[in-house]
Amino acid sequence: MRLQLVTALGAVAGAACSLLAEGAGEAATLGVLPFTAGGFIYVGTVSVIPELLRDAGPLQSFLQVLGLLAGVAMMVAIAHYE
Where are the chain's structural domains? 1-81
| Per-residue pLDDT at 70 | 92
CA 28/CA 22 separation, integer angstroms: 8
The pTM assigned to this predicted structure is 0.45
Distance (Å) of CA 56 to CA 44, 71, 82: 16, 20, 36
* Run means of pLDDT, 10 residues per run, the chain, 82 residues: 84 81 68 77 77 77 84 86 80
